[in-house]
Amino acid sequence: MQIKMYTKPGCKYCRQAKILFERANLEWEEINCVGENVDLLKQDYPDAGGYPWIIIDGEVIGPLTETAKLFLEKGLVTAPQK
Residue range 3-74, CATH number: 3.40.30.10
- pLDDT for position 36: 86
Tell me what pLDDT residue 11 has: 96
Digit-coded pLDDT (tens) for 20-62: 999 999 999 999 999 888 899 999 999 998 899 999 999 999 9
**What single DSSP character describes residue 24?**
T
Is pLDDT above 90 for 7? yes
φ, ψ of residue 7 to 5 degrees: the values are -130, 165
